[in-house]
């Protein structure tokens, strides 16, 4: 019985090319009490591996957080499977507005302590006492109200390439960093303002809205389905789009185009650009914004030092990495002293 992925990314990529089939990129989450996350994890892997599902899934005692790629021809089979899991029946699926057959190249189902690393002690507040969920139409109304404070619950490298007009975008590296900062900055408006929050697909706002209600905020709202569902509703209902730029996503696509505006800049030359890349030096792998001209000039690297290493034969690069831990640049997305226009 196979319980783990056995194909490399390159092998899987070749199979996808050979199949030539459309795939759907989607995500979903659910908070639920899972008694044995390891058993549930194995159940998911066995079933989804047989359906040729790929993606990154986190399972914990508190629920599931899934980002997936499903063959279009097997979507109904996939939907039937999750509907037969009692706490996933009818769960909202955030289907991407832009699909890429190679959004994911492996199936990874991992057991974690939490499905989102929020740093919160759930025993200290009622996690079920969440904010009011609003659709795109109501969201647009709320954020047009001068009595509303709109907060982006994502990280700096996400909001850098796209966000809602007028939103507060905390300059943070992680979700857990943003929670106390936002609370402190808005502490004078706990009773007199609408606190409206949003994130990519909604999961970060689920816990955050309950946390802020616990902290005394009276009027807390969250965008149902996040930016992904907002973009879909705006298109289907012909609503005014108040999101500018791209929506950062955590797969090989890196982003979805929501509007035509380019609001970010190349981290190396400062020209308008909103394309995230990873440094070609695998020992670095820094995520940063790089325009095509700089990519050619820098050989897809973030610095001259990385260019020199990336130019070495692959076996020499491996030898240099041997015995060393991952560079902390991997975790400091979009921040480095070598980037002239972002540090």
C-alpha 36, offset from chain centre: 26
| Mean of all residue pLDDT scores within the chain | 93
Using only C-alpha atoms, the chain has a radius of gyration, in whole angstroms, of 21
What is the spatial order of strands in the sheet that 255-257 belongs to? 162-164, 243-248, 255-257
Model pLDDT for residues 170-201, shown as the tens digit of each residue: 999 999 999 999 999 999 999 999 999 999 99
Binned at pLDDT 50, 70 and 90, residue 41 comes out as very high
In the predicted structure, residue 326 carries a pLDDT above the cut 70:
no
Binned at pLDDT 50, 70 and 90, residue 343 comes out as low
Distance CA 105, CA 102 (A): 6
In the predicted structure, residue 224 carries a pLDDT above the cut 80:
yes
In degrees, rounded to 5, the angle at the alpha carbon of residue 215 between the alpha carbons of residues 118 and 87 is 50
Q: Which of 60, 54, 68 is nearest to 5 (CA)?
A: 54
C-alpha distances in Å from residue 10, one per residue of 4, 13, 22, 70: 17, 5, 18, 18
Encoded tokens for 284:
């670095």
Task: To the nearest 10°, report the CA torsion of 86, 92, 94, 95.
Answer: 80
Binned at pLDDT 50, 70 and 90, residue 5 comes out as confident
Query: Which distant-in-sequence residues (6+ apart) come within 8 Å of 95 by Cβ?
Result: 24, 25, 26, 228, 232
Model pLDDT for residues 93-133, shown as the tens digit of each residue: 999 988 899 999 999 999 999 999 999 998 899 988 999 99
Model pLDDT for residues 52-96, shown as the tens digit of each residue: 999 999 999 999 999 999 999 999 999 999 999 999 999 999 999
C-alpha 177, offset from chain centre: 16
Going by their DSSP bridges, the two strands 23-31 and 94-95 should be labelled as: antiparallel
Catalytic positions: 199
**Confidence at residue 254, expressed as pLDDT on a 0 to 100 scale:** 93
Domains in the chain, please, with CATH?
9-111 (3.30.70.100), 132-232 (3.40.250.10), 264-342 (no CATH)
**Confidence at residue 332, expressed as pLDDT on a 0 to 100 scale:** 60
Binned at pLDDT 50, 70 and 90, residue 296 comes out as very high
Q: Which of 343, 26, 329 is nearest to 156 (CA)?
A: 343
Binned at pLDDT 50, 70 and 90, residue 154 comes out as very high
In the predicted structure, residue 329 carries a pLDDT above the cut 90:
no
Residues of the chain above pLDDT 70, percent? 97
**Confidence at residue 3, expressed as pLDDT on a 0 to 100 scale:** 87
In the predicted structure, residue 1 carries a pLDDT above the cut 80:
no
Judged on CB neighbours under 10 Å (0-12, 13-18, 19+), 262 is: middle
Distance CA 140, CA 239 (A): 9
In the predicted structure, residue 37 carries a pLDDT above the cut 60:
yes
User: Reduced to 3 states, what is the DSSP secondary structure of residue 219?
Assistant: strand
Q: Which of 165, 230, 171 is nearest to 200 (CA)?
A: 230
What mean pLDDT is predicted for residues 5-11? Answer: 89
Query: Which distant-in-sequence residues (6+ apart) come within 8 Å of 41 by Cβ?
Result: 59, 109, 110, 111
């Amino acid at each position: 019985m196979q319980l783990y992925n056995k194909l490399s990314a390159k092998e899987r990529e070749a199979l996808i090319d050979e199949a030539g089939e459309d795939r759907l990129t989607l995500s979903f989450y659910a908070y639920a009490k899972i008694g044995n996350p390891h058993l549930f994890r194995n159940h998911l892997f066995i079933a989804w591996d047989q359906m040729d599902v790929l993606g990154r899934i986190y399972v914990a005692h508190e629920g599931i957080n899934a980002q997936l790629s499903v063959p279009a021809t097997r979507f109904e089979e996939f939907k039937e499977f999750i509907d037969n899991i009692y706490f996933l029946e009818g769960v909202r699926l955030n289907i991407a507005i832009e699909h890429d057959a190679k959004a994911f190249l492996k199936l990874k189902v991992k057991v974690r302590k939490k499905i989102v690393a929020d740093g919160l002690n759930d025993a200290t507040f009622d996690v079920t006492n969440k904010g009011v969920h609003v659709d795109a139409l109501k969201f647009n109304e709320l954020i047009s109200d001068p009595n509303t404070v709109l907060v982006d619950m994502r990280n700096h490298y996400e909001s850098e390439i796209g966000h809602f007009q007028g939103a507060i975008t905390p300059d943070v590296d992680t979700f857990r960093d943003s929670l106390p900062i936002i609370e402190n900055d808005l502490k004078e408006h706990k009773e007199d303002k609408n606190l409206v929050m949003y994130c990519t697909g909604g999961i970060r706002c689920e816990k955050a809205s309950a946390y802020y209600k616990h902290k005394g905020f009276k009027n807390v709202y969250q965008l149902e389905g996040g930016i992904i569902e907002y973009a879909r509703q705006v298109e289907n209902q012909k609503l005014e789009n108040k999101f500018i730029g791209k929506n950062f996503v955590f797969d090989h696509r890196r982003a979805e185009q929501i509007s035509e505006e380019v609001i970010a800049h190349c981290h190396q030359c400062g020209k308008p650009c909103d394309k995230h890349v990873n440094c070609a030096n695998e020992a670095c792998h820094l995520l940063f914004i790089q325009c095509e001209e700089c990519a050619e000039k820098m050989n897809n690297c973030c610095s001259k030092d990385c260019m020199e290493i990336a130019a070495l034969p692959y076996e020499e690069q491996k030898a240099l990495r041997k015995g060393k831990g991952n560079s902390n640049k991997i975790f400091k997305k979009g921040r480095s002293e070598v980037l002239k226009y972002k540090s």
